[in-house]
Amino acid sequence: MNVGENKEGSEVVARGIVRIAEALFSCLKSVMERAATDKQYACNVIVLENCNFFLVAMSNRREGLGTSLDRLLEEARVLFERCCNKYVRWMIKREFKGLYALFSNIARIRKDVGDEVRTAKGASEASA
């Protein structure tokens, strides 16, 4: 086997890996889109587990696979972070309902009013 044949074989393997990874992400996205509210936990965990596995398994095998794999690794990282945030929010909302409601109200007030706090003394000085 000469070097040209080995390089050509590597390119075929790289394209195959990228196509399999693209199919995985397509499937994961369809799972995310069709999951009902009561299946939110399962949806997020499925995506988390698969993206984490992909990131761990493929991060060390980037050599010779080109930029397509880099794009898919970045997509897996973004999906992992998004689902992790959703999962943590769901878990906190489920386990700490009162605390979640309190912080949701605080976030809403901060959005409506802003972060600037004026005390009575500060307000009187500002108007003077």
Q: How many helices (H) and strands (E) does the chain have?
A: 5, 0
Give this prediction's pTM: 0.60
Answer yes or no: are the C-beta atoms of 18 and 68 closer than 8 Å. yes
Q: How do the pLDDT tens digits run along the chain, 128 residues long?
A: 444 456 666 777 778 888 888 888 888 777 777 655 456 777 788 888 888 988 888 877 766 666 777 888 888 899 899 888 888 888 888 888 898 889 889 999 988 888 776 665 655 555 55
Location of structure tokens 């394209």: 15
CA–CA gap between residue 32 and residue 36 (Å, rounded): 9
